[in-house]
Amino acid sequence: AAAISNFAALLYYAFVNLSAMKMPGAKYPRAVPLLGLLTCLFLLLFLGQDAWALGLVALGLVLLLYVAMSKERDRAKGRLTR
């Protein structure tokens, strides 16, 4: 559980920093989120193979669930509009 948690947290914060870099009108230098992104990616390198394997499997399962729920929601909307 800790392996998945570490993987997910670092991946999440990497995406947060990437988004912060693209944010217009930021009140801080662009180097701050860049440093955060690079730090997260660097720390991901030090996670063990089990963390990567479990993290990628969990990410894949969540992605499959998201796609399945999106398709079901689209089908439900199609039935309601007919």
Q: What is the pLDDT of residues 52-81, one digit of tens each?
A: 999 899 899 999 999 999 988 888 887 655
Report the pLDDT averaged over residues 29-49. 95
Q: Using the 8-state DSSP alphabet, how is residue 48 labeled?
A: -
pLDDT at site 75: 83
Task: Name the token pair of 6.
Answer: 């570490």
Q: Please, is 10 exposed, middle or buried when counting C-beta atoms within 10 Å of its C-beta (0-12, 13-18, 19+)? A: buried
pTM attached to this predicted model: 0.73
82 pLDDT more than 50: no
